[in-house]
Structure 1
Amino acid sequence: MGSEDVLKSASTLASYTVLLQVMFRVLTFLLNAFTLRFVSKELIGVVNVRLLLLYSTLVFLSREAFRRACLSGEGAGRNWRQVINLLWLTFPLGCVWGVLLVCVWWWMLQAPDPESIPHYFPAVGLFCLAALTELLAEPLWVLAHAHMFVRLKVIAESLAMIAKCLVTVVMVVSAPQWGLYIFSAAQCVYAGILLLCYVLYFVHFLGSEEAKEKNFPFHRITDLLPSRVDREPLLNWNLTTLTWSFFKQSFLKQILTEGERYVMTFLNVLNFGDQGVYDIINNLGSMVARFLFLPIEESFYVFFAKVLERGQGVRNQKQEDVSIAAEVLECLLKLVLLIGLIITVFGYAYSHLALDIYGGELLSSGTGPTLLQCYSCYVLLLAINGVTECFVFAAMSKEEVDRYNVLMLGLSASFLLLSYWLTWMLGGVGFIWANCCNMALRITHSIIYIHRYFLQSEYTPLWGLRPHSAVMAVLGISAGITTLSERMFCCDGGWVLRLAHVAVGAVCLLGVVTTVFLTETRLVQFIKTQLLPKYTKKST
């Protein structure tokens, strides 16, 4: 598959995944707004912080390293039989992590009051079971992702998420006294349907004419089980050692990604009610980052990993591949930077109104608006870091990954200490500022790596971090106008004044988008041809 074909496939995957994540976040957004009317913020804190932290930790530590290693290019020694054998190690590894984490969650952490939050101990076990169920689909997920089965990912995750939402809504309305059982059952349904969709798809696909046309490496569903063929080694040693390097990195990355939840869970700096409010605002603030930036990062990591040979300098790569990789990186940096700046500018002036509409006085009073305003600034750093790291991780050699692990260890330790100190001083806002400091350091490292990587070439993809001066001017004017509008119209003057505030923001946003369209023509062309492929004509 040539570079242009890989780019087209990765762009299509990113586009559909963005649409999928938009649907997910909208459903989750509506679901949280609904459940806030029926359950306490303490219960939400236990579910969204304590139990989902268990789920994400188990799943991430068990599969992230395998995904990054097995989705690397041919230079990693691609042999699909050995890849599948390696991927099946995710489940036993998940079982080991599950036993350890459940013991910690049961006996080392303070259990919530059983009167107000019942069924905590069974819920921990059920969330662990749901995570292990999702891990069973990992070999199929990697196969589908590597071969760009876009529809499978969209349909499977859509059905699973819709089922989870339906189960939650029905049980919250009909049996709210079940407490944590509601969310445990919904999570198990999500994981089960996800696994079922992947299994049914490959049962139908393997052996079909489509599989033969695509020269798919497997022919029967039993071929996807671990086995040894033609006296080959069971595992590819290079791929296994690369996985180990990523595993050490993933452990540290998980601490950095979920650091504030670990601090809240293990150090008890906030009570369950405050944890619930913080998590709701965190999810609301990171909505765009999750449904837009994360799919772009995941999809274009696949692109960079396939186009560039890992560990090789820019002079040792095919120059056509280097050229297209540099162009894509520059456009992606410009895209996420502009989106992040827009969120930062308009998020500051509309945080109070958004929380008042979403959760009423429960969220709009107290520190809620301040938390969301700070998070709007953090989103800008999240956007840049996601793209820079997806390139860096795809280009690094095994030795460079190992060296980066040492840096990540230092970042993890400093982040946890800074989180604890700032939270003790500032409350929930301290978590966000600690995240900002950590993200800024990671971005600095990635920028230095990218600069050195392209230093001996004619390409300068980091110019994507310099938006047009006209765009910056319009953003500055919009920031001033919307801040003044908030003071005049929001948020105690009734719906008419609120609508006036929204109208002012809409006009300013239209001005920003128009300016971007007129000045950033190269970026607009990239979006039209790569990120919106279904709207372009197919080449004949």
Structure 2
Amino acid sequence: MGSEDILRSTSTLASYSVLLQVMFRALTFFLNAFTLRFVSKELIGVVNVRLMLLYSTLVFLSREAFRRACLSGDTVGRNWRQVINLLWLTLPLGCLWGVVLVCVWWWVLQAPDPQTVPHYVPAVMIFCLAALTELLSEPLWVLAQAHMLVRLKVIAESLSMIAKCVFTVTMVVAAPQWGLYIFSAAQCVYAGILVLCYTAYFMHFLGSDESKRKSFPLQHISELLPSRVKGQPVINWKLATLTWSFFKQSFLKQILTEGERYVMTFLNVLNFGDQGVYDIVNNLGSMVARFLFLPIEESFYVFFAKVLERGREIKDQKQDDVFIAANVLECLLKLVLLIGLIITVFGYSYSHLALHIYGGELLSSGTGPTLLRCYSFYVLLLALNGITECFVFAAMSKEQVDRYNLMMLALSASFLLISYWLTCLLGSVGFILANCCNMALRSIHSLVFIHRYFRHSDHTPLSGLCPNSAVLIALTISSILTAFSEHIFCDGGWLLRLAHVAVGAVCLLGVFIVVFLTETRLVQFIRTQLQPKYSNKQT
């Protein structure tokens, strides 16, 4: 598959992933708004912070390193029997992590008050079993990603999330007294349907005319189980070594990604009620980052990993591939920068109104608006770091990955210390400020790597960080007008608040028009590569 074909498939994958994440976040958005009316904020804190931290930690540490290693480099001529054997190691690894984490969640962490939040102990075990169930789909997920089966992920995860939301809403209305049992069972529903969807698809796909036409490396469902071929190693030891390098990195990355939840969980700097409010504001503030930036990062990591040869100098690679990679990186940097700037500008003036509409006085009073304003700036840093690290992880050699692990260790330690210190001083706002410091340092490292990577070539992808001056002027004017509008209208009745919304809509439209007229290259990139291709016949 040529670079242009890989780019088209990757762009399609990113487009579908964005749509998938939009639906996920929309469902979660309305689900949280609905459940706030039926359950306590303490229960929300236990589920969304304590138990989901257990789930995400177990799943991430068990599979992330395998994903990055097995999707690196050219996957066309790879011995997939060895790769599948390697991927099945995620399950026993997950069992080991499960034992450790369940013991910590039961006996080390402070349990919530059983009168306020009952059924904590069995809920921990059920969430662990749900995570292990999801790991069963890992070999199938990697196969689908490597061979650009772009619709499978969308369908499987969409059905799973819809089933989880329907189950949660039904049970919260019918039997709210069951508390944690409802959310634990809902997570099992999500994981079970996800595995069933992947299994059903490959049972139908393998051996079909379509799989033969695509020269798919496997032809029978039994080949997805671990097995040994005579005369060959059980696993690809080169990939296993790379997996170990990524594993050390993924452990540190998980601490950095979920750092504030670890601090809240292990150091008890906030009570469960405050944790619930923080998590709701955090999810609201990160909606755009998760449903837009994360799918682009995941999809274009596959693109960069396939187009570039890991650890090799620019001059030693195919120059056509380097040209495409540099152009794509430049456009992606400009895209996420503009989105981040727009979120920062408009998020400052509309945080209070958004929280008031979403959760009423429970969220719009106190520190909620300040949290969301800070998060609006954090999204900008998050956007830049996601794309730059996406490229860096695809281009680094194994030795560079190992060196980066040491830096991540230092960042992890400093982040936890800064989080604890700032939280003691400023409360929950300190978490976001600590995240901003951490993300800025990581972005600087990635930008330095990219600069050095292209310094002996004619390509300058970092020029994507310099938007047109007319766009900056439009954003500045919008910032002033919306701040003035909030001061005048936002404390009045609904009609005045609608006027505030109208001012923001006009300003946002103006910014879009300026971007469309001045950033023509970016607009063309979005039209040709990121626009959803519903007519595309690829699967």
TM-score interval, normalised by the smaller of the two chains = over 0.9
**Counterpart position of 1:359:** 359
**Counterpart position of 2:415:** 415
CA distance in 2 between partners of 1:121 and 1:468 (Å) = 55
**Counterpart position of 2:166:** 166
Contact 2:75 2:146 in 1 (8 A): no
CA deviation after TM superposition for structure 1 residue 210, in Å: 0.3
**Counterpart position of 1:403:** 403
**Counterpart position of 1:451:** 451
CA deviation after TM superposition for structure 1 residue 262, in Å: 0.1
**Counterpart position of 2:144:** 144
Contact 2:25 2:287 in 1 (8 A): yes
CA deviation after TM superposition for structure 1 residue 533, in Å: 4.8
**Counterpart position of 1:185:** 185
CA distance in 1 between partners of 2:143 and 2:242 (Å) = 18
**Counterpart position of 1:308:** 308
Summarize deviations over 1:91-114 as a string: whole Å, max 9, x none: 000000000000000000000000
CA distance in 2 between partners of 1:230 and 1:22 (Å) = 46
Summarize deviations over 1:425-444 as a string: whole Å, max 9, x none: 00000000000000000000
**Counterpart position of 1:493:** 492
How many residues matched?
538
Alignment of 1:355-394 (within 5 A): 355-394=355-394
CA distance in 1 between partners of 2:537 and 2:90 (Å) = 39
Summarize deviations over 1:176-227 as a string: whole Å, max 9, x none: 0001001001000000000000000000001100010011111111101111
Summarize deviations over 1:380-405 as a string: whole Å, max 9, x none: 00000000000000000000000000
One-letter amino acid matched to 1:509: L
One-letter amino acid matched to 1:468: N
CA distance in 1 between partners of 2:492 and 2:236 (Å) = 66
One-letter amino acid matched to 2:166: L
CA deviation after TM superposition for structure 1 residue 534, in Å: 1.6
CA distance in 1 between partners of 2:322 and 2:118 (Å) = 57
Alignment of 1:317-332 (within 5 A): 317-332=317-332
Determine whether 1:197 maps to 2:197: yes
**Counterpart position of 1:430:** 430
CA deviation after TM superposition for structure 1 residue 51, in Å: 0.1
**Counterpart position of 1:240:** 240
The answer for unaligned runs of 5 or more in structure 2 is: none
CA distance in 1 between partners of 2:253 and 2:40 (Å) = 31
Structure 1 stretches of at least 4 aligned residues deviating more than 4 Å after TM superposition:
535-539
SS in 2 for 1:74: coil
Summarize deviations over 1:22-46 as a string: whole Å, max 9, x none: 0000000000000000001000000
Summarize deviations over 1:32-72 as a string: whole Å, max 9, x none: 00000000100000000000000000000000000000001
The answer for unaligned runs of 5 or more in structure 1 is: none
CA distance in 2 between partners of 1:147 and 1:498 (Å) = 49
TM-score by length of 2: 0.99
Summarize deviations over 1:467-491 as a string: whole Å, max 9, x none: 100000000000000000000000x
Determine whether 1:521 maps to 2:528: no
SS in 1 for 2:533: helix
TM-score by length of 1: 0.98
CA distance in 1 between partners of 2:383 and 2:517 (Å) = 23
CA deviation after TM superposition for structure 1 residue 76, in Å: 11
CA distance in 2 between partners of 1:53 and 1:535 (Å) = 36
Alignment of 1:254-293 (within 5 A): 254-293=254-293
CA distance in 1 between partners of 2:492 and 2:74 (Å) = 62
CA deviation after TM superposition for structure 1 residue 231, in Å: 1.3
One-letter amino acid matched to 1:435: N
Summarize deviations over 1:229-260 as a string: whole Å, max 9, x none: 13110111111000000000000000000000
Contact 2:334 2:465 in 1 (8 A): yes
SS in 1 for 2:191: helix
One-letter amino acid matched to 1:391: F
Summarize deviations over 1:124-157 as a string: whole Å, max 9, x none: 0000000000000000000011111111111100
CA deviation after TM superposition for structure 1 residue 537, in Å: 8.8
CA deviation after TM superposition for structure 1 residue 536, in Å: 8.1
One-letter amino acid matched to 1:245: S
Determine whether 1:463 maps to 2:453: no
